[in-house]
Structure 1
Amino acid sequence: MSSVLYYLGRFSFRHKWWVLGSWAAVLAVLIGLVVGLNPKFADDFELPGTDAGIAMDQMREKFPALSEQQRKPHTTVVVSAQDGLDKHTEQITALAADLTKLDDVIEPEKIVDPVALAAAEPALASQVLSDDGKIGLITVSQDLDLLDLPLDGKKALLQVLDEHRGDGLDIAATSGIMQARDQGGAAEALGLGVAFVVMIVAFGALIAAFIPLITGIVGVGMTMLLLMVSTEFMTVNQTATGIVLMLGIAVSIDYALFIVSRYRTERGRGGDPADAAGRATGTAGTAVVFAGLTVIVAVVALMVIGIPLITQMGMGAALAVAVAVLASLTLIPALLGAFGRFAFSPRIPWIRHAEADENHDTLGTRFGRMIVAKPIPFIVVGLAILVAAAIPARGMALGLDMTADDEIAAQELVAEGFGEGINGQLFVVVHAGDDGEVAPAADRAVAGIKGLDDVYQPQSVVWMGNGDDPANPNPGADTALIVVTPNSAPSSSQTHDLMESIRALSPQVEAVGAEIHVGGQTAIMSDLSVKLDKALIPYIAVVVGLAFLIMIGVFRSLWVPLIGTLGFVFSVLATFGITTLVFTDGWLGLISNTQPILSFLPIFLVGVVFGLAMDYQVFLVTRMREEFLHGLSAKDAIVAGYRHGSRVVTSAAVIMISVFAAFMLSPETTNKMLGFALAVAVFFDAFIIRMIVVPAVISMLGDKAWGLPRWLDKLVLNFDVEGSSVRNRGVSTTAEEPVELGTSAP
């Protein structure tokens, strides 16, 4: 493989303008397609094949008008007054009048004072006014698409609320237009800014620092454009794009950093620059290919879970990594060729030369000697830190709370006035078949539900059919919809038990020729947990198994992949512990509203972090093996690996941590938690496991760390990750003075 990549890197360097033009042409075509097609990301959450998924599918099919209505934003404006809302009639009336003036409002006649509405229509009183008359609800419906909510519309609503809030009247809002999100870009900009600073320190030159940055922007831009175009023939959820941005930026810059650093080393050895680019691509590029392949395997394997959103996240992340690898192998050599002798200039005099010097002990070299001299204390201390960090994971609670911070106040008021279950309604669908009457089954279901515990206002539970007469839709209906409001919170065990009790009515409903299913967010969460529990072990087996086989081929060793895999277990458990401390226990006050860990985060984190962990394993340890194969002792090879790789790996880890951590600036809960967890995971795995524990254990194993059993050695292909076949191509066999980069050209 190294020979193929050598010629690819050399070709890209020599035919730089052709390669750069090809990348520009592909970007131009994709931009044209996006502009012409105007594709949209999806924003729904589905669980096909589950009971909740069947219920939601039947709702869409049998109640299309209701489903279409659900695609419109319905904002709940909550008004609250401790002295009673009837004391603020004039103020609330003025508020309602201004709400009707918002853009695209439909049915403005329904935007009224909840006290007046409750008096005029007693049947609706319990739905709009609390029993004590202190909290009321006003619904504002707008003719907009939930998938494309304008941020200006949200700002206009908040301005109206601010104008009428005060004098004892509190006003908040949730759902609907409140779900409009600022597309921002602050997180990406901050991450790229930190990456640029780190690369300046790593290279000591401005242009060299720009090259990985350019690659990262181009790679992520192309990935996002490809995802947008793909929405024309498949569903891609908006939530999936968050991880694509995070992972795409991070790996693009990391891989480019690795290639550019190796190119600098090869240029220092002399010879033609094109050959140096070929050697860099043949050696470091081979490591990048296998590192990227490991990440791709880990994230693509997420599809075994069977949840579309997680599958889309995995496929999007895999696409981002694939584009990053391709850019490293072609775009980086082309950019190096375009900048020529100016690639490592202008030099920044107060930043020390980043190139490894065989005659000078760097901080990494001294640290490496400390590791191999006394490995046991480093192993014990490193693992002890991770074990201590993992302890809070025992209290980890899972959930799917996607509520933004500016909706929390409204939801708390709603729960206070109408019960905790008002935010977690269950949608029960009873279907009798296309030729059957649903009435007998629906009546049985309603009677059964009224007799269950934890149902809010059971006397008001009724069913609505899908008959042809809009005024009386129950006669002739083949499907019924029953909305059940629990007394308990959506994530509570009581609500879960209620949902299962409704599903347990199935034999009674089936006795009259119908079927019953329960949907809604609470039901989806329950089914999601079941699917995740069932998929976790098979997923880990697939990911670890495939990656382990890849690592055997990369390192031609059983011990090194085994040590790396076991180390990953420690780092990911420590990540769960710290994430629980911050997001669930409120440690350090980093978030204003504590919440459970996103239910899909553990399994997703396992996939992504395992792939990234193997990245650093490949980057650092392949150089150690390379030096071992070229004659150094096992311990000296480890020290040499630190000399050549520690600065690059440290820089790459700092960049990745910065990119991930910057996404805590996002208003999206998913992005905040994913960004934090990934940043912590990379910190633990890169700096404790890969930089300390793994080299320490390898040093204890000595020469046997780098061997395979004879029978297995014959079966494993030689991928030549170390680039032995291209190591000296283009380098004169006679002694030469090293080329001083950034000052002259051959």
Structure 2
Amino acid sequence: MIELIAGPVMSRLLYRMGRWSAAHGKPVLVAWVVVVVLLGVLSRAVGGHVTDQFELPGAESQVAADLLEERFPAVGRSSTMVVVAADDLRAHAGEVSALAAGLDGVAGVVSVGDPRRGMAPSGTVLQFPVRFDKPAEQVEVETWDRVLAVVDAARSPALQVELGGEVANEMARTGPAGTSELIGVAVAVVVLILVFGSFLAMGLTLLTALIGVGVSLATILLVAAAINVPTTAEILALMLGIAVGIDYALFIMSRHRENLVAGMDVPESIGRSLATAGGAVVFAGSTVVIAMLGLIVVGTPSITTMALAVAFAVIVAVVVALTLLPALLGLAGRRLAAPTLPGLRNRRPRARDENLGTRWTTWVARRPWLSFGMALVAMLVMAVPLLDLETAFPSAGSAPEETTHRRAHDLITEGFGPGFNGPLLMVVDHSGLPAADASAAVSDIGSVVRADPNVGFIVPGASNPAGNTTLMQAIPLTGPADAATKDLLERMRGEILPAVESSYGIEVYVTGPTALDIDVTKQLTDRLPWVMTVVIGLIFVVLMLAFRSLLVPLKAAVGILLSIGAALGIVVAVFQWGWGASLLGVDGTMPIISFLPVMSFAILFGLSMDYEVFILSRVREEWLRTGDARDSVIKGVGATARVITAAAAIMTAVFAGFLLGDQPVVKMIGLALAVAVLLDATVIRLILVPSTMVMFNRANWWLPAWLDRILPNVDIEGEQLLDESEATG
């Protein structure tokens, strides 16, 4: 039989690692403190900034953006739109001119548009651009503060001034630090105290998670100094880092305290805890990393960076749990065995104990078909709204109403129409064409595009100094996130512009933030089936190796898909349909952020393996011991229900805490992950898994003999090592 490192070799390695860390507790602790402090100092000194800018190499919008930056350097820099509103702007002409002049004098501003050219027909709203010398994510806070000072000085009861555009959006983003994660951590503290009955155990578990998160976030900022790192990557790393950091430490801490209560000495207990629960942590962390690496097939640098950031945060959480935690356990000694809260006592749960978990599983096992049917119907009903899923990147119109970029968005919509918030920029490359022909081509482009029923009007073209490229704007009648705008972009590229291009031998690219967002959304949608195939395939193989079964990984995949579908269905109901949106502080309805389906699928598929492995390891252990399929399910689920419930409560609380954030995107992510984890740990793990395992009986563990002979042996929780220790003990 072939042996993998995840089997006895890994168990022995983890056992020795645990004992070594316990024996060298102080040096290990000092080493981690030095790492955290060093990374923190470096990230503040030379670290970069996360950004909301997406890139899509090879897409027409990205090719055009690169060409634009090359031939129109000033246009290629970032900008913000100044929006001014009053009952009669003609009466405030002097104030508006002074505002423009003041902005033009700000260091870092390279040009300011003429306010007189941006007046709405009503005469109550005008807009003009302010261009900066750096990309939006690199604009200095000091520069933006000076811009705000000029704007604040121009505001009055009769004159409203707001700031929109990419720089305003970038500056308004909510960072990861705030009350959101503090709420989740506070709930985690309560759950850990109830689970352990010990402030010391709670504190050590939480400390390891927070140190891991600190290392991850500091490293991400250092990487951001060299490459573009999306804002969402930082948020996801924080969410997942806290959640899995606490969960992984919880698994190991629970096993260690069981051993201490049973009378085992501290070093041996730590070694065995790492060899058993630590093996499950390595396995669970590996599945999350595998799932995240599956996102690379999307082919979008921003999504790849998000995936790598989350994978790194999970790897750090695993390493901290396997090195720092055992060092802290060794320093704490036997004090962890004693509860510190009145009324709470330690006990060593066993699979054969009668508890709430076993009583519940017994009830499900006696009525497997009824339990299965009710759970399946409930999950499918919750997934129904998913059929109405609409994805897009968020616009300023989905930002909180009190933000300046949201007010700017609303004023532009009111004064000019929704299309002004999402113009389609046409880059006409007429290199080598005589000036007269180039002028005729630009005129024809304007005529054929203006004839489309969803085009309000065309902004006249402006040529670069070399005279080989012209810029034009098509202003849609619909907003940037509207499906009609997407249809217009497709018509322009596929039907309207190709005829003019072939007639004059020129290239016309359609770009701009709206076009890029639509292109990224399309690529994410097109690649989702590939991501699902890769992730499900890899996880299927891993689970087949772990449990030597074909049916177990198949049921696991179906169960996880149900929880993800139900969670996304609830997200659609809240954000698209508006059901209960006001309770979450969401203003109105909006499409779902484009990357949420693919990103949540990978994250949740990986996270769900924590509970799947933890439960099925115990069930399989009982099955191998007794050969009784029904009884092994009851005892295995009963033995793990308490820890699974605690872990799910912590993870759900951490994710739900982000519902208190300001940004709808953060709320969407938090709701999707919180609901999915909650459903997965309850409906899936406590109803669907035991009911289907009872229904399929011995078939759960069937594996063709030829496949059984060639598959390597994977001992997740180190049972073989324990058996050897007990035999020689």
How far, CA to CA, are the matches of 1:402 and 1:241 in structure 2? Answer: 20
How far, CA to CA, are the matches of 1:245 and 1:106 in structure 2? Answer: 34
Deviation, 1:257, is 0.5
Cross-structure match for 1:385: 378
Cross-structure match for 2:26: 17
Cross-structure match for 1:58: 67
1:222 lines up with 2:228 in the alignment: no
Are residues 693 and 159 of structure 1, via their aligned partners in 2, closer, same or farther at CA, if it must alter by over 3 Å?
Answer: farther
Secondary structure at the aligned position of 1:557 is classed as coil
Secondary structure at the aligned position of 2:127 is classed as strand
1:621-677 per-residue CA deviation (whole Å, 9 max, x = no partner) reads 211212222336322322222333111111111111111111122223322211111
1:194-225 per-residue CA deviation (whole Å, 9 max, x = no partner) reads 11111111111001011221111111111112
1:488 lines up with 2:485 in the alignment: no
Equivalent position to 1:249, from 242, 250, 265: 242
Deviation, 1:178, is 5.6
How far, CA to CA, are the matches of 2:76 and 2:612 in structure 1? Answer: 49
Q: Which amino acid aligns with 2:242?
A: I
Cross-structure match for 1:539: 531
Structure 1 range deviating more: 219-228 or 539-548: 219-228
How far, CA to CA, are the matches of 2:375 and 2:601 in structure 1? Answer: 20
Deviation, 1:4, is 2.1
| Matched residue count | 704
Secondary structure at the aligned position of 2:546 is classed as helix
Q: Which amino acid aligns with 2:414?
A: E
Equivalent position to 1:343, from 336, 339, 350: 336
Cross-structure match for 2:122: 132
Matches within 5 A, 1:490-639: 490-503=480-493, 504=495, 505-588=497-580, 589=582, 590=584, 591-631=586-626, 633-639=628-634
Cross-structure match for 1:313: 306
Deviation, 1:299, is 0.9
State whether residues 277 and 333 of structure 1, in contact with CA within 8 Å, keep that contact through their aligned partners in structure 2. yes
How far, CA to CA, are the matches of 2:157 and 2:643 in structure 1? Answer: 57
Cross-structure match for 1:737: none
1:258 lines up with 2:232 in the alignment: no
State whether residues 103 and 150 of structure 2, in contact with CA within 8 Å, keep that contact through their aligned partners in structure 1. no
How far, CA to CA, are the matches of 1:307 and 1:26 in structure 2? Answer: 32
Equivalent position to 2:463, from 462, 465, 471: 465
1:76 lines up with 2:82 in the alignment: yes
Equivalent position to 2:469, from 446, 470, 479: 479
Are residues 510 and 75 of structure 1, via their aligned partners in 2, closer, same or farther at CA, if it must alter by over 3 Å?
Answer: same
Structure 1 range deviating more: 308-317 or 448-457: 448-457
Secondary structure at the aligned position of 1:463 is classed as strand
How far, CA to CA, are the matches of 1:140 and 1:478 in structure 2? Answer: 25
Secondary structure at the aligned position of 1:285 is classed as helix
1:219-239 per-residue CA deviation (whole Å, 9 max, x = no partner) reads 111111222222344332233
Structure 1 range deviating more: 602-611 or 232-241: 232-241
Q: TM-score, normalised by structure 2?
A: 0.89
Are residues 697 and 398 of structure 1, via their aligned partners in 2, closer, same or farther at CA, if it must alter by over 3 Å?
Answer: same
Deviation, 1:421, is 0.6
Cross-structure match for 1:291: 284
How far, CA to CA, are the matches of 1:198 and 1:104 in structure 2? Answer: 55
Secondary structure at the aligned position of 1:343 is classed as helix
Q: TM-score, normalised by structure 1?
A: 0.87
How far, CA to CA, are the matches of 1:593 and 1:165 in structure 2? Answer: 29
State whether residues 110 and 131 of structure 2, in contact with CA within 8 Å, keep that contact through their aligned partners in structure 1. no
1:374 lines up with 2:371 in the alignment: no
Cross-structure match for 2:698: 703
Cross-structure match for 2:6: none
Q: Which amino acid aligns with 2:629?
A: A
Secondary structure at the aligned position of 1:384 is classed as helix
Cross-structure match for 1:37: 46
State whether residues 660 and 678 of structure 1, in contact with CA within 8 Å, keep that contact through their aligned partners in structure 2. yes
Deviation, 1:402, is 4.2
Deviation, 1:165, is 5.5
Structure 2 residue ranges without an equivalent (≥5)? 1-9
How far, CA to CA, are the matches of 1:465 and 1:134 in structure 2? Answer: 31
Are residues 156 and 203 of structure 1, via their aligned partners in 2, closer, same or farther at CA, if it must alter by over 3 Å?
Answer: farther
How far, CA to CA, are the matches of 2:105 and 2:539 in structure 1? Answer: 53
Are residues 396 and 4 of structure 1, via their aligned partners in 2, closer, same or farther at CA, if it must alter by over 3 Å?
Answer: same
1:647 lines up with 2:642 in the alignment: yes
How far, CA to CA, are the matches of 1:280 and 1:649 in structure 2? Answer: 17
Cross-structure match for 1:105: 106
How far, CA to CA, are the matches of 1:411 and 1:285 in structure 2? Answer: 51
Are residues 360 and 93 of structure 1, via their aligned partners in 2, closer, same or farther at CA, if it must alter by over 3 Å?
Answer: farther
Secondary structure at the aligned position of 2:719 is classed as coil
Structure 1 residue ranges without an equivalent (≥5)? 119-123, 468-475, 735-746
1:534-585 per-residue CA deviation (whole Å, 9 max, x = no partner) reads 2121111111001100011111111111111111221111112110111111
How far, CA to CA, are the matches of 2:576 and 2:344 in structure 1? Answer: 42
Are residues 110 and 244 of structure 1, via their aligned partners in 2, closer, same or farther at CA, if it must alter by over 3 Å?
Answer: closer
How far, CA to CA, are the matches of 2:435 and 2:47 in structure 1? Answer: 42
Cross-structure match for 1:447: 444
Are residues 385 and 75 of structure 1, via their aligned partners in 2, closer, same or farther at CA, if it must alter by over 3 Å?
Answer: same
Structure 1 range deviating more: 337-346 or 619-628: 337-346
1:1-43 per-residue CA deviation (whole Å, 9 max, x = no partner) reads 2222222222222222232233233334423432442333344
Are residues 558 and 357 of structure 1, via their aligned partners in 2, closer, same or farther at CA, if it must alter by over 3 Å?
Answer: closer
RMSD: 3.1
From the two aligned structures, give the one with the greater helix fraction. 2
Equivalent position to 1:415, from 392, 410, 413: 413
State whether residues 442 and 480 of structure 1, in contact with CA within 8 Å, keep that contact through their aligned partners in structure 2. no
Are residues 171 and 644 of structure 1, via their aligned partners in 2, closer, same or farther at CA, if it must alter by over 3 Å?
Answer: same
1:132-153 per-residue CA deviation (whole Å, 9 max, x = no partner) reads 2233336566778632564995
Deviation, 1:380, is 1.4
State whether residues 206 and 344 of structure 1, in contact with CA within 8 Å, keep that contact through their aligned partners in structure 2. no
Q: Which amino acid aligns with 1:431?
A: D
Secondary structure at the aligned position of 1:485 is classed as strand
Cross-structure match for 2:7: none
How far, CA to CA, are the matches of 1:509 and 1:676 in structure 2? Answer: 46
Are residues 455 and 383 of structure 1, via their aligned partners in 2, closer, same or farther at CA, if it must alter by over 3 Å?
Answer: closer
1:225-277 per-residue CA deviation (whole Å, 9 max, x = no partner) reads 22222234433223321111111111111111111111112223333321211
How far, CA to CA, are the matches of 1:438 and 1:95 in structure 2? Answer: 37
Matches within 5 A, 1:677-688: 677-688=672-683
Secondary structure at the aligned position of 1:480 is classed as strand
Cross-structure match for 1:48: 57
How far, CA to CA, are the matches of 1:45 and 1:16 in structure 2? Answer: 44
How far, CA to CA, are the matches of 1:211 and 1:527 in structure 2? Answer: 46
Are residues 187 and 620 of structure 1, via their aligned partners in 2, closer, same or farther at CA, if it must alter by over 3 Å?
Answer: same
State whether residues 240 and 316 of structure 1, in contact with CA within 8 Å, keep that contact through their aligned partners in structure 2. yes
